Amino acid sequence: MKKIVIISSLFFLLMVSCKKKELNFTLKGTVTDHTFGGGLNGAVLNLEEISSNGKNLGVVAEATISSDGNYELTFKRNSSLKYILTVTKPNYFNIFEEIPFGDFSTEEDLVKNYSSKAKAWVKLTFNNNAPILESDFLHYTKQEGKQDCEECCPKTEQEVTGITGKTIYCLNDGNTTYSYSYLSNSTPTPAFKTIVTPAFDTVEIITNY
């Protein structure tokens, strides 16, 4: 009888141990500063869970990134649809990724490495210094600069018209080049403007036509 009790206890402990292992996922990796190097110190990483019916269950794990850039999240395994990872830090571009449930395994850690760039801004000022008609125009097209972000200026040709000036702010990667070509009714052949946008700062390009 004593032997049966011992065997039953060992079996129970084994089952509990296996169950705990099955109920946990681990996500780890690094978040680095692409502009200055090293870890993205002070950035906040959140992992949200989306249930199988599409409901957002909120943040299941979070971490604050240190100077070495390393992070490790261990959280309960549920039968979910996916997870949403975000990394945020003021004056840096946000990181966003949807991670399918199937990418995780209880047998090994999931490794995800990320990098973010510092923000910079360029102020584009267009001055019509010799206004004649409301039909005065300037066409400009971005040649170098960040694409596909909420505050990024488009790469397609843009138009400035009228007898007054215009000012536009564009977001760019810090410590990189921003440039555009332009022509106007007073500048019939293409000309170019270029500038380096320092991280966390705003620089101005003035174009007179």
**For residue range 174-193, what is the model confidence (pLDDT) as tens digits?**
999 999 999 998 888 999 99
Residue-wise pLDDT for 25-79, tens only, equals 999 999 999 999 999 999 999 999 999 999 999 999 999 999 999 999 999 999 8
Question: pLDDT over 70 for what percent of the chain?
Answer: 89
Which H or E run includes 139? Answer: strand 137-144
Position 9 scores a pLDDT of: 52
Burial per residue of 131-170, b for 16 or more beta-carbon CB atoms within 10 angstroms, e otherwise:
eeeeebbbbbebeebbeeeeeebeeeebebbeeebbeeeb
CA angle at 110 for the pair 106 and 112, rounded to the nearest 5°: 165
- 3 or 64, higher pLDDT: 64
> Containing H/E element for 16?
helix 2-22
- Assign 43 to helix, strand or coil: coil
Q: Which single residue is written with the structure tokens 């206890």?
A: 9
- Burial degree of 40 (CB within 10 A; 0-12, 13-18, 19+): buried
Nearest to 119 by CA among 203, 50, 16, 197: 197
